[in-house]
Amino acid sequence: MSGEIMPISEAKISVLDWGFTRSDCTYDVASVRNGAFFRLEDYLERFQTSLAKVRIEVVQSKDEMRDIVHNIVARSGLQDSYVAMVASRGVPLIPGTRDPRQCGNHFFAWCIPYVHVIRPEVAARGAHLYVPREVRRIPPDSVDSTAKNYHWGDLTRGLFEALDAGFDTAVLLDHQGNVTEGPGFNIFSLKGNIVRTPDTGVLEGITRRTVLELCTELNLETDVRPIALSEFMESDEIFTATTGGGIAPVTRVNDRVFSNDAPGQVTNRISETYLSWFDRPEFRQPVNYLQDR
Amino acid sequence: MSGEIMPISEAKISVLDWGFTRSDCTYDVASVRNGAFFRLEDYLERFQTSLAKVRIEVVQSKDEMRDIVHNIVARSGLQDSYVAMVASRGVPLIPGTRDPRQCGNHFFAWCIPYVHVIRPEVAARGAHLYVPREVRRIPPDSVDSTAKNYHWGDLTRGLFEALDAGFDTAVLLDHQGNVTEGPGFNIFSLKGNIVRTPDTGVLEGITRRTVLELCTELNLETDVRPIALSEFMESDEIFTATTGGGIAPVTRVNDRVFSNDAPGQVTNRISETYLSWFDRPEFRQPVNYLQDR
């Protein structure tokens, strides 16, 4: 394994790094729960896909990245952790040139205590979502949403609007008026026996994939296609899905109340099933924590 | 003046900074030529506008920012410099929260030797521009192009396509098929006596503004409005404008050759006038270099 390990307070990146100055980077976030990574191979695989899509080559192989994230979590001692991998375009190898094909790219990883994108107390009562009127999600023909990226200007703008209006977070429409995603999560709509989630303009989340897979076990139908706002507002239940916190019920969207202003029954069943999947051996990679801590 | 000065090799930013992890920042770039800032007040004013638009408040006032950039250039000794100002959302003040209104924002500035976005030898023969077929500029209702930002995923994608196809750089279309801007520059089209540049989906460049102002002195008409690709391809002359390099003639766009494959006469006149404006006292702020270097 290459690279050095340092505390997060000392981990720094140059202000000249293109990852910073042009958000010219890609990243991924895996999680550790109860001392084990969940579906780490899927996260590593998606990260490789993102790297290829944005054409950032780094010297670390997928196997080395696996070793690195295991190593930093082991050293941190964190039993529940948010584990980020980032690859950045770095700086041009020849000063004064601006060729993105000729940069000193680099890879780094860091872990912190587990993060809930939607706070547990908010998930417990059901999140209140705001759909901004004006700001639209960056379209995929501008920035490919399936290559996990930091182009969050639209999401941040939406989040400001949502918070100012007294909501918990935002979900953005695309330019066709379909719901897409929010800052850090995918969105799901339940109607009857069918669980729907958008197919375009969104990150192909690993938690999203897990939900789609477990719905089959729960005898729910899945349907991945565009969802117009008008259809979304007629959902029986709505929930969000993200690595940082799992499933969170949504009880309000703008002025509409869903599932009697309480987490939906099907959502709760999906959330419980999701949590139970953390114990499945095929998804679980225990961290080999250092004994001498 | 607040803050500390350090060499660029030691100037670092935390990997947890939202400026890095979510490109949640805004910036501006002024230039020093022959020992003096050019139109610094306009750059400072635009930066204040960008800060308000993305709602990043920093403790430094505009007057302090002016002092800071003068100070770093003075200490660097650079007579010709690319001077960047960046304001970043920082990190949430309360760990675990994700409220962009409650972050430890910060401001920093750095200067390096003057940068030519389009290299002088390329500008001398005329740049070759590529208009990508698929990637489109991020629309203003997703990310406001007038708040100078680092959302360059689309521009970088276009630049890769351009370089792979043997061109010098790219200019992107918007979703309506109009030309917008390239990675780091505005674009101008001359037809007859009229100098045109797009009005939407672009940065309101200070060099762009300077060109529009000096055209009046040169008895050229100006016209700021959308320019369809088909109209653009019928230009008599084309040129780019940016703080990092000034005016650069364009002689080829895709398979079309302009102004006999040589820098256009009007473009050259505009470029010469632009350079002469650096000596205008109302635009010039000499740097007070340290004597003891």
- CA distance linking residue A159 with residue A128, whole number of Å: 12
Residue A137 contacts B where some CB pair is shorter than 8 Å: yes
- Regarding whether A246 and A102 lie in a shared domain, the answer is no
d(CA A1, nearest CA chain B) in Å: 21
Q: Which residues of A touch B14 (CB under 8 A)?
A: 8-9, 11-13
- Regarding whether B164 and B83 lie in a shared domain, the answer is no
Phi–psi pair at A55, nearest 5 degrees: 55, 50
- Regarding whether B226 and B180 lie in a shared domain, the answer is yes
pLDDT (tens digit per residue) in A234-252:
999 999 999 999 999 999 9
Q: Find out whether A7 and A76 touch, Cβ atoms under 8 Å.
A: no
**In a domain? residue A152:** yes
- Token pair 């995603």 in the structure block, residue: A181
How much is the pTM? 0.95
- Regarding whether A75 and A192 lie in a shared domain, the answer is no
**In a domain? residue A98:** yes
- CA distance linking residue A182 with residue B200, whole number of Å: 26
A22, A86, A136 member nearest B141 (Cβ):
A136
Residue A62 contacts B where some CB pair is shorter than 8 Å: no
3-state secondary structure chain A: CCCCCCCCCCCEEECCCHHHHCCCEEEEEEEEECCEEECHHHHHHHHHHHHHHHCCCCCCCHHHHHHHHHHHHHHHCCCCEEEEEEEECCCECCCCCCCCCCECCEEEEEEEECCCCCCHHHHHHCEEEECCCCCECCCCCCCCCCCCCCCCHHHHHHHHHHHHCCCCEECCECCCCEECEECCEEEEEEECCEEEECCCCCCCCHHHHHHHHHHHHCCCEEEECCCEHHHHCCCCEEEEEECCCEEEEEEEECCEECHHHCCCHHHHHHHHHHHHHCCCHHHEEECCCCCCC
- Regarding whether B129 and B69 lie in a shared domain, the answer is no
Q: Cα(first)–Cα(last) distance of chain B, in Å?
A: 21
**ipTM value of the model?**
0.94
- The total number of structural domains that make up chain B: 2
A89, A142, A160 member nearest B138 (Cβ):
A142
Residue B32's beta-bridge partner residues? B37, B81
- Regarding whether A237 and A147 lie in a shared domain, the answer is yes
% of chain A beyond a pLDDT of 90: 87
* DSSP conformational letter for B139: P
- CA distance linking residue A219 with residue A127, whole number of Å: 26
| A79 vs B2: which has the higher pLDDT | A79
Helix (H, G, I), strand (E, B) or coil at B42: helix
Domain end: B55, B79, B113, which one? B113
B23, B98, B100 member nearest A150 (Cβ):
B23
Output the pLDDT for position B8: 79
Residue B11 has pLDDT above 60, yes or no: yes
**In a domain? residue A284:** no
**In a domain? residue B172:** yes
Q: Which residues of B touch A143 (CB under 8 A)?
A: 138, 151, 153-154, 157
Residue A10 contacts B where some CB pair is shorter than 8 Å: no
d(CA B206, nearest CA chain A) in Å: 20
**In a domain? residue B288:** no
- Regarding whether B190 and B87 lie in a shared domain, the answer is no
Domain end: A113, A134, A152, which one? A113
- CA distance linking residue B224 with residue B185, whole number of Å: 16
Chain B residue with minimum CA distance to A160: B100
B110, B135, B156 member nearest A24 (Cβ):
B156
- Token pair 């952790």 in the structure block, residue: A81
Looking up residue A265, the CATH number of its domain turns out to be 3.20.10.10
Characterise B256 by phi-psi region: left (phi > 0), alpha (psi -120 to 50), beta (else).
Answer: beta
Residue A194 has pLDDT above 60, yes or no: yes
Output the pLDDT for position A2: 59
**In a domain? residue B264:** yes
- Regarding whether B85 and B124 lie in a shared domain, the answer is no
| Whether A12 and B8 lie within 8 Å, measured CB to CB | no
Q: Which residues of A touch B119 (CB under 8 A)?
A: 96-97
CB crowding A239-261: b at 16 or more within 10 Å, else e? bbbbbbbbbbbbbbbeeeebbee
Q: Find out whether B36 and B284 touch, Cβ atoms under 8 Å.
A: yes
- Token pair 């490109």 in the structure block, residue: B23
| A-to-B residue pairs, Cβ atoms closer than 8 angstroms | 158
Amino acid occupying residue A177: G
Please name which of A24, A27, A30, A23 lies closest in space to residue A50, comparing C-alpha atoms. A27
Task: Mutation target for B interface from A4, A6, A14, A15: give the one with most B CBs within 10 A.
Answer: A15
- CA distance linking residue B257 with residue B266, whole number of Å: 16
Helix (H, G, I), strand (E, B) or coil at B36: strand
Residue A178's beta-bridge partner residues? A228
Output the pLDDT for position A238: 98
**In a domain? residue A163:** yes
pLDDT (tens digit per residue) in B222-245:
999 999 999 999 999 999 999 999
Range of the domain at B25: 18-113
**In a domain? residue A214:** yes
pLDDT (tens digit per residue) in B55-93:
999 999 999 999 999 999 999 999 999 999 999 998 888
- Regarding whether B150 and B38 lie in a shared domain, the answer is no
Stretch A131-155: mean pLDDT, rounded?
96
- CA distance linking residue A31 with residue A37, whole number of Å: 6
- Regarding whether B182 and B229 lie in a shared domain, the answer is yes
Residue A98 has pLDDT above 90, yes or no: no
Mean pLDDT estimate for chain B: 94
Mean pLDDT estimate for chain A: 94
- Regarding whether B101 and B145 lie in a shared domain, the answer is no
Q: Which residues of B touch A151 (CB under 8 A)?
A: 23, 138, 143, 151, 153
Looking up residue B57, the CATH number of its domain turns out to be 3.30.470.10
- Regarding whether A153 and A192 lie in a shared domain, the answer is yes
Domain end: A52, A80, A113, which one? A113
| Whether A152 and B184 lie within 8 Å, measured CB to CB | no
Output the pLDDT for position A126: 98
Q: Which residues of B touch A115 (CB under 8 A)?
A: 96
